[in-house]
Structure 1
Amino acid sequence: MSHTALLVIAVAGVVALLLLILRAKVQPFVALVVVSIGVALAAGVPAADLVKTIEDGMGSTLGHIATIIALGAMIGRIVELSGGAHAFAHHLIERFGSRRTPLALTVAGFVLGIPVFFEVGLIILMPIAYGVARASRKPLLVYALPMGAAMLTVHAFLPPHPGAVAATEAIGASQGLVLLMGIPITAVVVLLGSFVSRRLSRREYPMDPTVDAEVYGEPEAGGQGTHATAGTAESPSSGGGKATAVLTRQAPSGTDLPPPSFGMVLALIVTPILLILLDTIGQNTLTEGSTLRAVLTVLGAPMVALLIDVALCGWFLGARRGWNRARIAEVMGSALPPVAMVILVPGAGGVFGKVLVASGVGDAIADVLERTGLPVLLLAFLTSLALRAAQGSATVALITTAGILTPLLHRADLSTGQLSLVALAMGAGALALSHINDAGYWMFTKLAGLDVAAGLRTWTVLTTVMGCAGFALTAALWPLV
């Protein structure tokens, strides 16, 4: 079949995917599988090989990412239900002081966003933003906007989040290098986002009356409001110096013990990251065959690193705080149903990528992209950005971009470091242009009490600026790898 015909099939497949997700409201997993089958048959994949192609695509993808996503979800769930997320955020607020409370919540969103999925993190931290806004009598957006954007940035860029894991594995990049380069990049992007959000939140926006009442309404008897309660806040203008906002309602931990300490939660969050990074450093500095390198290779494998951290979280946040074995098992198990579809969607993306390769569509696309003369880093960013803008899901944008670009990347003969930067460029595109077709956009705007226009002028603008900044930083590192 000619390249022109294959390209027409590819374009038709992407259009069909968008129509199924956006117009027909078909679940992305089902839409990806249906489109993959259609593209395979139209491109001439023999019917006898169709099922095997689908199974190979699903198996090769889930073999890499399913365990990582499931273990990451367990860690996030234990941190959440032990009260660790609340304790972590409150400690930062106390340490940073009232004037830098927005920055404290931004840091909390960034750090907690690593093990906790975006939607869950928003639900955990938004009540704290409510309490701080009520105590300070400042607009909720001052606190919520940079905090939410920080969590979305981590969600788009870094493992163990599903899109980042799937894209990294699909193109052959290193998760260790993605973390090693991605954490500083995302930290700078998040810091930039906090400054941009400060300017965006200077303007007053209409707020949903229900949210306004929940945030600023009079506390109920006993000092508790609907979502969160604020303790006393001493305004700087009253001559008292620092203002402190304390959320008195804690996340349920199942015990009467105080919540975990800041240091404990931080140590448990960074443990798997450090293990993965140590493996990456060992691969590049230690001689092949050395005992230490072999040990680091095992401990630093993402699955092993996360498994170790699950055990540590179960002990330090669970067993040592009064949870019995049944409770720990229940909490770990409760993390899996919500991420079942999160795991399957990247798997279906792997099917789509496998079909593109098996049918020859991938090579045809690679030829066209190669003739554009654009650098692969820019192509990764623009493709991910276009898919993100078109269909809304950052995860779908990442895995579809990886499937489209994999043949081109293999031709380009890039180093592992360069492929890791390509994965981060895809993440930058997936961060930008969060708007009305993105579930995360609606979740944030509803919790923040914003209407559609205000959400576009704040959330959409901020995520786009941060996405472009992330790509610029990634491009700046390209000559160095």
Structure 2
Amino acid sequence: EELEKHGKLPSAWKSFAPIVIPIILMALGSIASFPSHPFGEGAFKTICNFFGTPVNALLVGVAFSFLLLPKFDSETLNGWIGESLKDAATILVVTAAGGAFGNVIKEIKVGDYIGQSLSGLSLGIFLPFIIAAALKTAQGSSTVAIVTTSALLYPLLPVLGLNSEMGKVLTVMAIGAGAMTVSHANDSYFWVVTQFSGMDVKTAYKTQTVATLIQGLVTIATVFVLSLFLL
């Protein structure tokens, strides 16, 4: 029935190429940037650096996705592009808005205020988690939460008793736990899940948002238990 509906399905390599090839290109770009220069410093390194840039790698992936078209004509192409834009528009808008809001928070030093307010409390390994979770929940970007929390906490590690090598490892784990707590409407990943799974927002809040809260709490609890034995 599916075969009759969609016609002949593409081969495995055509199906996976738009996903796998950009990953390979970005991996090669990262390797080419190693200080040891594993690819030398000639043309091959330049090519790897160019196509390893995420935007360029994804453009190559888009080019390979055209191989999946059953027939390459304007009607099919316009249909695919229109459907893609319809699904991706919300994600792109929310991602852009979240990025802008994240920059606003960064510029007005909210992270600094949170860090200074909480640094006087004896929270230990929970402090990195709380700051990262507050930033993640406020502006949606895990990357901003990780980078900002790391910059805030580094000078405070001796005060928190986390200045040892193992303390730094546990701090990174605690920041990671906080940076995924919680995913909701200001997080582009939230909309990726809802849009492509057909899930309505109410259901997503009950499932994905709650799930990210649980995973964050379970992770920080695990980190705390580890700290009892390793610090």
TM-score, length basis structure 1: 0.36
1:56 offset after TM fit, Å?
1.4
Match of 2:105 in 1: 79
Amino acid at match of 2:127: A
Match of 2:145 in 1: 121
Match of 2:33 in 1: none
Asked if 1 retains the 8 angstrom alpha-carbon contact of 2:140 and 2:186, the reply is no
1:181 offset after TM fit, Å?
3.2
- Structure 1: segments with no counterpart, 5+ residues: 205-481
Deviations 1:56-75 (A, max 9, x none): 14421342123222222232
Determine the C-alpha separation between the residues in 1 that align with 2:57 and 2:80.
Answer: 14
Picking from 107, 112, 122, the partner of 2:130 is: 107
Q: RMSD of the TM alignment (CA)?
A: 3.0
Deviations 1:227-284 (A, max 9, x none): xxxxxxxxxxxxxxxxxxxxxxxxxxxxxxxxxxxxxxxxxxxxxxxxxxxxxxxxxx
1:76 offset after TM fit, Å?
2.2
Asked if 2 retains the 8 angstrom alpha-carbon contact of 1:101 and 1:143, the reply is no
Match of 2:158 in 1: 134
1:203 offset after TM fit, Å?
4.1
2:20 is the alignment partner of 1:15: yes
1:10 offset after TM fit, Å?
1.0
Picking from 175, 179, 193, the partner of 1:147 is: 175
Deviations 1:34-58 (A, max 9, x none): 3344343354332334642453144
Matches within 5 A, 1:180-259: 180-201=206-227, 202-203=229-230
Structure 2 CA distance for partners of 1:184 and 1:163, relative to 1, 3 Å: closer
Determine the C-alpha separation between the residues in 2 that align with 1:111 and 1:90.
Answer: 14
Determine the C-alpha separation between the residues in 1 that align with 2:191 and 2:91.
Answer: 6
Asked if 2 retains the 8 angstrom alpha-carbon contact of 1:117 and 1:161, the reply is yes
1:32 offset after TM fit, Å?
3.7
Determine the C-alpha separation between the residues in 2 that align with 1:73 and 1:2.
Answer: 41
> How many residues are paired up?
198
2:88 is the alignment partner of 1:65: no
Structure 2 CA distance for partners of 1:187 and 1:81, relative to 1, 3 Å: same
Matches within 5 A, 1:370-389: none
Amino acid at match of 1:19: I
Structure 2 CA distance for partners of 1:104 and 1:83, relative to 1, 3 Å: same
Deviations 1:300-355 (A, max 9, x none): xxxxxxxxxxxxxxxxxxxxxxxxxxxxxxxxxxxxxxxxxxxxxxxxxxxxxxxx
Structure 2 CA distance for partners of 1:2 and 1:68, relative to 1, 3 Å: closer
Determine the C-alpha separation between the residues in 2 that align with 1:31 and 1:85.
Answer: 33
Asked if 2 retains the 8 angstrom alpha-carbon contact of 1:13 and 1:39, the reply is yes
- The 3-state SS of whatever aligns with 2:124 is helix
Structure 2 CA distance for partners of 1:44 and 1:54, relative to 1, 3 Å: closer
Determine the C-alpha separation between the residues in 1 that align with 2:147 and 2:65.
Answer: 39
Instruction: Return the structure number with greater relative CO, CA threshold 8 A, min gap 6.
Output: 1
Amino acid at match of 1:26: G
1:150 offset after TM fit, Å?
1.7
Amino acid at match of 2:105: V
1:113 offset after TM fit, Å?
0.7
Match of 2:44 in 1: none
Consecutive aligned runs of 4 or more in structure 1 exceeding 6 Å deviation: none
Amino acid at match of 2:149: L
Structure 2 CA distance for partners of 1:167 and 1:45, relative to 1, 3 Å: farther
Determine the C-alpha separation between the residues in 2 that align with 1:72 and 1:131.
Answer: 28
Determine the C-alpha separation between the residues in 2 that align with 1:41 and 1:136.
Answer: 55
Percent identity of equivalent pairs:
13
Asked if 2 retains the 8 angstrom alpha-carbon contact of 1:168 and 1:175, the reply is yes
Determine the C-alpha separation between the residues in 2 that align with 1:127 and 1:192.
Answer: 25
1:127 offset after TM fit, Å?
2.9
Determine the C-alpha separation between the residues in 2 that align with 1:26 and 1:93.
Answer: 40
Asked if 2 retains the 8 angstrom alpha-carbon contact of 1:93 and 1:105, the reply is no
Amino acid at match of 1:123: V
Determine the C-alpha separation between the residues in 1 that align with 2:68 and 2:99.
Answer: 38
Matches within 5 A, 1:408-447: none
Determine the C-alpha separation between the residues in 2 that align with 1:64 and 1:197.
Answer: 35
Amino acid at match of 1:135: V
Asked if 1 retains the 8 angstrom alpha-carbon contact of 2:177 and 2:217, the reply is no
Determine the C-alpha separation between the residues in 2 that align with 1:73 and 1:12.
Answer: 29
TM-score, length basis structure 2: 0.68
